[in-house]
Structure 1
């Protein structure tokens, strides 16, 4: 059984992408049905512009997932050319899923509660800024350890062997 891991990943990606596509269609149909048909008086040009503008990132993310995650098959049955990237990877892929699901929630809230619910979408850029800040401060804190300084600015003690030698009164290490 050649390429078992690749075939498993391809089947898993296909299931995830099909489920996500169905969920996207249901949620956006719910929005259009509820705002356009049921509450036709609340479906204005402003609502349509907000809907298109704030759903565009989720459409783009969905397109990217389809492009990188959808497996490709050869001409003969069962011939897997490319299994696609792992859609459960950490990092950017994980953040893209967060944006997608948060947008789904905002679409549902906007369909039920009205246009003011789109303000919940502001959480996504705020979350991005918080992630960038914590990454930067973590990297800055990590770089100070390479410079030989602790977070408090005091010199670092060195290795355990050096600490033991200093404790016994042996060879002293001078810090500058």
Structure 2
């Protein structure tokens, strides 16, 4: 039973990477063939150049997420799981890298269907989203960094606010709640 979860993670990672590789090879080959047949060899350099960030993200996902096996019994062909790889479904940076891959594939499909490179302006959504997330994190963890000192003086209350319990006790007048017969 031990190691069952790592085997599941390894199987999921292998399936995700296989799906990504199949999509990338199919769509990228369609894009290159479309550009090569419509405009010649020189126009195929643009899609290659625009797909460099996608290929870098795919390479990083491959290196970190691919499970590694070791042959434990060469005669029977049994393999032992050495490293299941980083969980590709865990979120965080892996999700952002997969988003970059999917947005690039969408832009490639737009290039194939409409024979225009203007679809690649959608790739600008990725850095804009990253800047938005960084700005949000900055506001969340450093709220005083953007406010000026005059604004802080105006918004700082002279007396700290009281909790609900303190307000109830003041309302009761600190009378005891115990009743004697």
Q: Normalising by structure 1, what TM-score?
A: 0.78
Residue 59 of structure 1: how far off its partner (Å): 0.4
Q: Which residue pairs with 2:129 in the alignment?
A: 127
Residue 138 of structure 1: how far off its partner (Å): 2.4
1:1-176 aligned at under 5 Å gives the runs 1-37=1-37, 39=38, 41=39, 43=40, 45=42, 47-76=43-72, 77-113=78-114, 114-141=116-143, 153-155=155-157, 157-168=161-172
Q: Is the 8 A contact 2:31 2:109 kept in 1?
A: yes
| Structure of larger gyration radius | 2
Q: Is the 8 A contact 2:6 2:84 kept in 1?
A: yes
Structure 1: tracts of 5 or more residues without a match: 144-149, 171-176
Counterparts of 2:122 and 2:27, CA distance in 1: 17
Q: Normalising by structure 2, what TM-score?
A: 0.76
Q: Which residue pairs with 1:173 in the alignment?
A: none
Q: Deviation digits for residues 80-118 of structure 1, max 9, x if unmatched?
A: 100111101122111111111111101111222212222
Counterparts of 1:49 and 1:158, CA distance in 2: 66
Gap change, CA 1:161 and 1:49, over 3 Å in 2: farther
- Corresponding residue pairs, total: 160
Q: Is the 8 A contact 1:157 1:163 kept in 2?
A: no
Instruction: Specify the SS of the correspondent of 2:82.
Output: strand
Instruction: Specify the SS of the correspondent of 2:51.
Output: helix
Structure 2: tracts of 5 or more residues without a match: 73-77, 146-151, 175-181
RMSD: 2.7
Q: Is the 8 A contact 1:71 1:82 kept in 2?
A: yes
Gap change, CA 1:90 and 1:164, over 3 Å in 2: farther
